[in-house]
Amino acid sequence: MIGMTTRQVELIDVKEPPPEFPQIPDKIYFRIGEVSHLVGVDTHVLRYWESEFSLIKPFRGPSKQRLYRRQDVHNLLRIKQLLHDEGYTISGARKHLKQLGFDQQAGGVRNASITSEQSADGSLLIWIKQELREILTLLGSTKKSDS
């Protein structure tokens, strides 16, 4: 942890995920009903958020049903947290996500740069946790393909 302040080291030392983010099953795609249950909102709300936030882009299979990726579920959980728990408006949540480095056009790919505002408000921890979960998912999928 060379070059890090004590405050930064304290922020990185996280033992368990926050209770508001449920455990997401180890799947590639999720149907809208599953995502609705995981996120805790009705399906019509998911469809509305899809129209308001360009980083939510579900894949449509041969049956034309929406299939959400794991990253979409993470993004929807973050959007729900901003709107329902933190009291943001839709436009305010969009601005906040942009400030956090979410690339609205690239489907939620984030910039690697971390701002001091992010570390101060705890969003750094959320970002680190999401990155670590994605790494674990990638490692788990390579183990299965190696077998």
Residues 6+ apart with CB under 8 A from 9: 1
Confidence (pTM):
0.57
Instruction: Average the pLDDT over 113-138 and give the result.
Output: 70
List, for residues 19-61, the tens digit of each pLDDT value: 556 788 888 899 999 999 999 999 999 999 999 998 999 988 8
CATH 3.40.50.11540 fits 6-146, yes or no: no
Domain ranges for the chain: 6-146
CB-based contact 8:119 (threshold 8 Å): yes
- Give every strand in the sheet of 66-69, ordered side by side: 29-31, 66-69, 59-60
H or E segment and range at residue 90:
helix 90-99
Q: Is the dihedral of CA 103, 34, 21, 121 positive or negative?
A: positive
Task: Using CB atoms within 10 Å of the CB of residue 120, give its burial: 0 to 12 exposed, 13 to 18 middle, 19+ buried.
Answer: exposed
List, for residues 64-118, the tens digit of each pLDDT value: 899 999 999 999 999 999 999 999 999 999 999 888 876 544 444 444 445 555 4
